[in-house]
Chains A and B, each alone.
Chain A
């Protein structure tokens, strides 16, 4: 498929083209960047909702139930589920889709599973761009389900406007995980499996933690109870999602987040491009290799060499 075919396909709602584009993104194919740059103006419309929380805390079933409810309201839905890739073989079992079965044949729902392919932070490297592709494809709401391994899954904050942190009653360790990393990023807490004993206690615990939290918040994250199996409590989650979006808009935070994200993204891209160009220029050149040898032999130091090489590079570029 050519770049134009992909661009036109995605914009006119063709699943096959969208699927192909996401594959290109995952494979870091240069064509993907071309397509994405042409789609960029058509993005930024979707409400991206991150779902994170420990394994077994019902992320997929919550997404399924939210999707069912939002479909009743004629919202179109995209879902990206991220599962860990094996660090040894690079393979991955992507099993979240099983829970989304009831939406498989709905043409207004698009589900894509992704392996992390070695990327840390709870997402795949490709997730952000895949979400953008689905955004351009025209889905109203996009759920991004993180790996859920716990600690450092804060990357989601860069792509989602609203973040739901899920948890289940029982196992007191989870709360440690929440404390350690994702407490700060939650906009909504969902305690799933409300039929299990200890659900109410969990809600109290999380609320108590929010009470003593030193961070100043304009939005106090609500703590909700749901039952992923029966769908109990899902309506309330949707209400809060909408309220949160409303809050973001009214407080100007949405705009602010948008600016911040554009700044970060531009910064990242420039850094990536610069580094790549620099390397391409230097890698394999005899004077570069000689400098490395001198550093290793302690005849030169890396700080000075780095300064010099970058200065030379910038100078040659500006000439």
Chain B
């Protein structure tokens, strides 16, 4: 019986552990210094906002691990001795392994700003960050968030829920400017304003100001403006959490370099999730993808390989989702922030300015390559198939009702979308009008 050790109890590590257990009787140990049990990192914001308690974020009950003979060890790992197959904890204890899966996740970026280590300045990635945020925001009236991405907007919502005034600095001309096209960015900008978030576009952080006692008392922007605040959220992205592996024989770049089997350069050592960097990523994917779904997919893939069925990591059509305050976002395939010359797009926005869809297609043959949808839920299965099958724009727009995943009784926008499509493209696809009975009986 071999001993499999998994470093990290996030979605990647835990998915690996669960799937390994399905196939073998090997000993499995999951090590984490962050928490006793697996919890959903994506739900941290809901704990702060009071939607849930920490225990609600645990996807499995505590008895689950013993029942499935998955040993849990709470420890921080200081370094790894790959030659003698040992992990060394912060208290200098040694843990041996036969095979090792590294799933160490990410850490928040900092870019060397003056004052970035003051009390009240932090990112939000792990449970310790959340605890710290809970403590440091107790009497905060005003906060500044730096960095327009998903964690930034989550932090804005969290602080806003406690009645803290939020000023939000973003470097680009719109929210999440390196990912979202202009119109979607504008839609979210408006929604943030609706929630009284003081959004400052094209504004960069110069320094964080010390109150003289080691806490933050304000920030200064590159243009010289000083904004008073008692909390600064630094949400300028994350990077693989691999600093402790820098002086080992493990091959690393930005992340731990892995081949298509998620194996590192060292035999019996694998890396998955946020910390892994694909040496040769498929053309439609990036080498490092720090999202939940990738961690899960890599976890189930590496479990196959480790249990005797070598399996290549083959991520399919890209998908992701998020929620910006009240507006849900889903994306399937590729919708770049700026289109290249070979692509065009069809954009529809609802009259209330809170829902839109944006479909990107190839100029040459109208094959759809991706969609962004805001405020309208879409069926993953349908879009996955359409994108795999290379359906054209007119096909997709005509069959849009099939992809709708909104709850019953919700207003359906397909007729409006189809109408606009017909007008813009001089096409004459049939406009869908589901009858009352069709809507009830789906």
* A and B are partners in one complex rather than unrelated chains: no
Q: Report B's interface with A, CB cutoff 8 A.
A: none
